[in-house]
Amino acid sequence: MTISPLAGLPAPPERLINLAGLLCDYYTVEPLAAVSFGTSGHRGSAFKGAFNESHVVAITAAVIEYRTQKGYKGPIFLAHDTHALSDAAWRTALTVFAAYDIPVVISRDREYCPTPVTSFLILEHNRSHPQALSDGLIITPSHNPPQDGGIKYNPPHGGPADVDVTGWIEKRANELLGRIYTIKRIPLAKALTAPSVEIRDYITPFVEALGEVVDLELVKSSGIKIGADPLGGSGIHYWAPIAERWGLNITVVNPIVDPGFTFMPLDSDGVIRMDCSSPYAMANLIKTSGNYDLGFGNDPDFDRHGIISGGKLMNPNHYLATAIHYLLANRPSWPTAAKIGKTLVSSSIIDRVVQGAGRTVYETPVGFKWFVPGLIERTLAFGGEESAGASFLRRNGQTWTTDKCGFCLTLLAAEMTAKSNKLPHEIFRQITERYGQTDYVRIDSDITPQAKAVLTNLDPTVLIGAQLADLKVVRAWNKAPGNDAAIGGLKVLLSDGSWFAMRPSGTEPKMKLYAESLGGPSLLTKLTEQAQDLVFSR
Q: What is the DSSP letter of 314?
A: P
Give me the pLDDT at residue 444, please: 85
Residue type, 496: D
Round to whole Å and give the CA distance between 188 and 125.
Answer: 26
Contacts of 451 (CB under 8 A, 6+ apart): 511, 536
Domain 439-536 has CATH 3.30.310.50: yes
Give me the pLDDT at residue 537, please: 81
SS (H, E, C) 27-86: HHCCCCCCCCEEECEEEEEHHHCCCCHHHHHHHHHHHHHHHHHHCCCCCEEEEECCCHHH
Domain 208-435 has CATH 3.10.400.10: no
Those residues of the chain that have pLDDT short of 50 are none
Residue type, 254: N
CATH 3.30.310.50 segments of the chain: 439-536
Contact 387, 304 (CB under 8 A): yes
> Is 142 an active-site residue?
yes
Q: What are φ and ψ of residue 362, in 5° steps?
A: -115, 105
Q: What are φ and ψ of residue 206, in 5° steps?
A: -70, -45
CATH 3.40.120.10 segments of the chain: 17-201, 208-435
Contact 294, 417 (CB under 8 A): yes
- CA quadruple 471, 477, 482, 486: dihedral sign: positive
Round to whole Å and give the CA distance between 173 and 188.
Answer: 22
Round to whole Å and give the CA distance between 123 and 118.
Answer: 9
Give me the pLDDT at residue 462, please: 94
The total of other beta-carbon atoms located within 10 Å of residue 141's CB is 29
Set 86, 142, 268, 348: catalytic member? 142
The CATH number for 17-201, chosen from 2.40.30.130, 3.40.120.10, 3.20.20.150, 3.30.70.330, is: 3.40.120.10
